[in-house]
Structure formats: structure tokens, C-alpha cells
Amino acid sequence: MLDRLRNPWSDNRAELTLGAVSLLVCASVIGMIVFVFIRAWPIFEHNGLSWLGPGGSLKTQLENMQATSVHPPASAYHLRAWPIIYGTILTTGVAVVLGIVIAVLSSIFIVELAPARLRRVAIPVIRLLASVPSVIYGLIAILVLVPFVGNHLISSPQKTSVQNSVQLTGEGLLVVTVTLTVMITPIMIALICEALAAAPRSWREGAVALGLNPLRAMLAVTLRAIRPAIVAAAVLATARALGEAVMISMASGASFFTPNLSHGVPIFLYEPLRTLASTIIDFSEGIGAPALDSTLYAFAALLLLSAFVLSIGGYLIKLPLRKYQVRG
């Protein structure tokens, strides 16, 4: 008895307590997935999977949902969300592809090319770029980039040529993609730099000894060896870009318009759009109308699902690349 008072944490009890806390963490994660899918169910129930496709005006569909009362009729659940899914794929895809190229090049710069003094400055600076909150990126995008694009890049003939379908103000695909690229590149740089620094130097030295110049040896040998790390970085960056809500909600023009390639390439880049995550935050004021709620949860479920598919996909891509893997 006295022993128990002196030493209240017996080993068994300690392990059980710590294990219970871990169980709580797991339970809340499983709870999250279950909750989101349960709340999203009515949309799947009324639309099947065809809500992912095109059809009708998404704007009127969402306004109908907002207008209905606590007991919405089945017709209020009608949803065809293709415009914002297209917007999500477009912004994420372009930003990630651009981001990979820039990240690989700047990682080579940081690890290999930059003089030691410059490297000491560049590393914390790029790390800072990764930790700037997205609302600050959004603020800069909407107060600096959007006026610049709207006043200097878009000419008035371009504005009048599409004025029947959409107003070009500068808010749109171009500003969103550029800002998103700046946001996700530092995350990739961090992972790629780590892998580059960990790759055995002797492999490259061998290539140089065989007559390649140092840069070509870097590209041909080291970069090939760290492909798993590049895939991991791309997966992480894609997840980040998919979930970015605040910056896109501020800079995208918040319109259900789908950028239309038939308008020609420069105009296409200036056209406004919406993504899954930014739509959730734009319509968060309307939470409380059951039909709209379940739509927003359906968008969230789609985001969760794609994050899941991404990490599985990344794992599968990495498997055959592991032959020359150095780390990760």
C-alpha cells in the first residue's frame, strides 16, 4: 500500500494510460473520416456519383440549397460539381508541374551551385517562404498581383471580347497558379534538398571521372537516384495545393465560371474560377441549411479521398524506383 503511494505510476498502468491516449488520437482520426462521410451521404444518395460530372448551373444549384429550409425537398439535393472539380484539377496540376521543375532546379542550386555564404542565407529564406501563412499570400495576391494583372496585362480588347460571359478583373487562374506555385515549391525543395545531400557523392564522382561535366553528372546520376524523394515531394505538394482554401478564395474571383480554352490562351489564363476547398470557405456562412451542409461535406470527403489516393499512388510509384534508392 505504502509502495503504491510512493510510486503511483506502476509500469502497467503507465503503459495503459499512454496507450489509451494513443487510442484517443486514432479514434478522433477515424471519427473525422466517418463524420465527414456520414454528413456527405445525402448528396451521394440523391445524385449517385454523377454529382462529380457536368450539367446545369452550379451557382443556381447551390443557391437553391441555401434557400431551402430545415427540411429540403429531394430536388434541392441536385448537384453537378464539375466546374469546381475542373478548377481544382487545373490549379493544382499547373502549380505542381511548375513547382516540381522550379524545386528541382533550386535544390540543385542550393546543394551544389551556391557559394557557401549564399547557401547560408538561401536556406532560412526559403524555409521562411514555406511558413508564411496562406492568408498573407492571399492578401498580397489580391492587393498587389490582381491589380497588376488587371491593369497592365489584360488589354481592353481582351476584356470586351469575352464580356458577355465573364468579367476579367485580374482575379483568376494566372494569379492563383503563380501564388500557389510559390506556396508549394519550398515544401518540395526541403525534401529534395535532403535527398540530394544524402546521395552518395562517390556515384557522381564516378560519372565525372568517366567524362561527364559536374552538372550533367548531377542530372544523370544523382537526380535519378533521388526519384523516390521527388515523388514524395510532389505528393506532399499536391496535397497542400488541393487543400488550399483561403488564398484561392481571396484571389480566384470566386466565380463558378470555368476557364474556357476556346477563348484563346492569354484570356484563358485571366479567367476566374473556384476550387473545392475555396468553395467550402466561401459558403461557410450558409452552414445550417441541410442540403448545402451535405454538399460542403461531400466536397470535404472528395478532398479526403484524393489525399488518400495520392499517398497510396505515391507509394506505388515509388516501389519500382527503389532500386537505387538512397533514402526515404
Say whether residue 190 binds other proteins (CB under 8 A): yes
Grid coordinates of 141: 495576391
The binder of other proteins chosen from 65, 174, 182, 225 (CB under 8 A): 182
**Residues whose CB falls within 8 Å of the CB of residue 212, separated by 6 or more in sequence, listed in order:** 220
Residues 122-141 that bind other proteins (CB under 8 A): 122-136, 138-140
Q: How far is the CB of 165 from other proteins (least distance, A)?
A: 22
| Residues in contact with other proteins, shown as a per-residue x/- string from 225 to 254 under the rule CB under 8 A | -------x--xx--xx-xxxxx--xxx--x
Residues 199-228 that bind other proteins (CB under 8 A): 201, 205, 213-216, 219
Say whether residue 7 binds other proteins (CB under 8 A): yes
Region of 18-26, 53-61, 155-163, 318-326 interacting with other proteins (CB under 8 A) = 18-26
Say whether residue 36 binds other proteins (CB under 8 A): yes
Neighbours of 228 (CB within 10 A): 23
Angle at 296 between CA 300 and CA 290, to 5 degrees: 140
Neighbours of 140 (CB within 10 A): 17
The binder of other proteins chosen from 87, 176, 303, 318 (CB under 8 A): 303
Q: Please, which residue, 76 or 251, has the CB nearer to other proteins?
A: 251
Residues 99-118 that bind other proteins (CB under 8 A): 102, 105-106, 108-114, 116
Q: Which of 228, 251, 126 is nearest to 176 (CA)?
A: 251
Q: How far is the CB of 46 from other proteins (least distance, A)?
A: 19
Residues 282-301 that bind other proteins (CB under 8 A): 284, 287-288, 296-297, 300
Question: Residue 302, CB half-sphere, CA atoms under 13 Å: how many?
Answer: 23
Q: How far is the CB of 316 from other proteins (least distance, A)?
A: 14
Q: How far is the CB of 229 from other proteins (least distance, A)?
A: 11
| H and E: helices and strands count for the chain | 17, 0
Do the Cβ atoms of 304 and 33 come closer than 8 Å?
yes
Per-residue three-class SS string for 253-286: CCCCCCCCHHHCHHHHHHCCCCCHHHHHHHCHHH
Q: How far is the CB of 54 from other proteins (least distance, A)?
A: 24
- How far is 239 from 150, CA to CA, in rounded Å? 30
